[in-house]
């Protein structure tokens, strides 16, 4: 099974030797669907592109706002990974009106490449959520660039401590430049502002991993605290 959600599923986290994956269960709204999956049969893909389906278009039309590549991790069995390689090659060969598609699938040898998205999410997406509202990703990142760079580095260092290589990470400058074009709040922030009672909690996952690795991250603690309170407010309103 291949997953491209931003939240790494528990069976995939069990493939990371330095993690006690079962201790990360609080970061998941529901763990039951994953219970019977074998870790070696679960891959992960970093969903970096910003894309959405325009409501007035057909079901097979996507608008790509940030054309970057999906970065896929290998399966345990090379024969299974070969299927992803074939997909990569076929997408590479696609032409629409004589042009290649702006978003590709890229297969990597490292289990940690999809985790490069964590630094982006913790620096931008989840910090769009404010105690009393939301803000665009650009503002979350560029409102205080030095603070954002510090958060980004801490998350990258955490992933490196888990076993990633430096080349598995995306440089902060590249991310900050891309964030200049992200003029809307993240989907997580918009969901919370719209009354959502549950969202994907990569912020909480990173916080728990940092605690587990003995390198607590105050910024992740603060972000998770804000989101916890906003979600609790939404649940209270829904119950009322």
The sign of the torsion formed by the CA atoms of 116, 179, 28, 69 equals negative
What's this model's pTM, rounded to 2 decimal places? 0.86
Percent of the chain with pLDDT over 70: 94
Which has the closest alpha carbon to 114: 182, 66, 170, 179?
170
Residue 4 has pLDDT above 80, yes or no: no
Q: Are 207 and 217 in contact (CB under 8 A)?
A: yes
> What's the pLDDT score for residue 6?
64
Give tens-digit pLDDT for 53-65: 778 888 878 777 6
> What's the pLDDT score for residue 2?
38
DSSP 63: E
Counting DSSP H helices and E strands in the chain, the numbers are 9, 10
Give tens-digit pLDDT for 77-110: 999 999 999 999 999 999 989 998 888 899 999 9
Predicted confidence band of residue 47 (pLDDT cuts 50, 70, 90): low
DSSP 136: -
Predicted confidence band of residue 49 (pLDDT cuts 50, 70, 90): low
Tell me the mean pLDDT in the region 218-232: 98
> What's the pLDDT score for residue 106?
92
Percent of the chain with pLDDT over 90: 74
Element containing residue 137 per DSSP (H, E) = helix 137-142
Average pLDDT, the chain: 91
210 alpha carbon, distance to own chain's centre: 16
Q: Alpha carbon of 232 to those of 161, 186, 197, 238: distances in Å?
A: 33, 19, 7, 10
Which has the closest alpha carbon to 141: 184, 189, 176, 190?
176
**Burial zone of 153 (CB within 10 Å; 0-12 exposed, 13-18 middle, 19+ buried):** middle
Q: How far apart are CA 38 and CA 15, in angstroms?
A: 10
Give tens-digit pLDDT for 166-175: 888 899 999 9
């Amino acid at each position: 099974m291949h997953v491209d959600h931003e939240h790494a599923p528990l069976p995939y986290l069990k493939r990371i030797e330095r993690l006690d994956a079962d201790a990360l269960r609080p970061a998941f709204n529901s763990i039951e669907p994953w219970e019977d999956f074998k870790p070696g049969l679960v891959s992960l893909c970093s969903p970096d592109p910003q894309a959405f389906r325009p409501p007035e278009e057909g079901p097979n039309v996507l608008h790509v706002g940030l054309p970057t590549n999906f970065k896929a991790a290998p399966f345990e069995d090379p024969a299974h990974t070969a299927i992803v390689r074939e997909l990569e090659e076929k997408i590479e060969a696609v032409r629409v009106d004589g042009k290649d598609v702006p978003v590709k699938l890229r297969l990597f040898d490292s289990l940690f490449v999809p985790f490069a998205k964590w630094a982006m999410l913790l620096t931008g997406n989840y910090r769009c959520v404010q105690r009393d509202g939301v803000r665009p990703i650009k503002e979350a990142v560029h409102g205080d660039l030095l603070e954002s760079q510090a958060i980004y580095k801490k998350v990258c260092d955490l992933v490196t401590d888990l076993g990633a290589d430096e080349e598995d990470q995306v440089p902060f400058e590249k991310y900050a430049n891309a964030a200049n074009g992200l003029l809307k709040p993240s989907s997580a922030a918009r969901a919370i502002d719209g009354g959502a009672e549950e969202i994907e909690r990569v912020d909480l996952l990173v916080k728990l991993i940092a605690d587990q690795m003995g390198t607590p991250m105050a910024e992740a603690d603060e972000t998770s605290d804000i989101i916890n309170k906003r979600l609790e407010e939404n649940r209270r309103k829904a119950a009322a």
